[in-house]
Structure 1
Amino acid sequence: MKLLSPDPLRRLGANGTGEVKSHPFFNGMDWPKLMRKEYIPIFRPPLHKKQDQAWASSSPTPELSQEVKAQFTGWSYNRRPGQEKQDP
């Protein structure tokens, strides 16, 4: 649940990636394997339309509907001022 906190200062990982990596939920995670993208997902959503793959193209991100935008009202993905990016 802490990953879903809308407050970026209270969100899991706000104090660095180690916070996420050390959480009990991720016990047993092979982080180097994850970074090499060697995990096979247990679910792959079916792709029915060309638009389903729009996110993977090199073209600009498609415009989101107002309904989708409304789901993220109040969320921030910005880093705290002075917080440096940390390597995984």
Structure 2
Amino acid sequence: MSPDTPAKPLEDFVRDILHEAEVTLRREPAKAVAMAFGIGLLFHVLPKRLIVSTATTTALTLLKPALLTFGIVKAAELVLSQSKPEAHSSHE
């Protein structure tokens, strides 16, 4: 990414999370180690199939309305782009 290109919202979000994690790690290292241990233990105890199926189900549930919205927006753009030349030609 070039310096002139503005950062995307997702990149800003990830950057903020990483910054907060670093600040927490430096301020409270024992708490950060305990949290990492707890998350690691949780991932170890939970069946991998449960984690993957939950993530997949959540992603697919969110994907359907996102694709529908994207399709509606693209259809509206197509209709608007086709109607603009007609409006210009009728005025001439």
TM-score under structure 1 normalisation? Answer: 0.28
Q: Which has the higher contact order (CA 8 A, sep 6+)?
A: 1
Work out which of the two has the higher radius of gyration on C-alpha atoms and give 1 or 2. 2
| Structure number with higher helix proportion | 2
**TM-score, length-normalised on structure 2?**
0.28
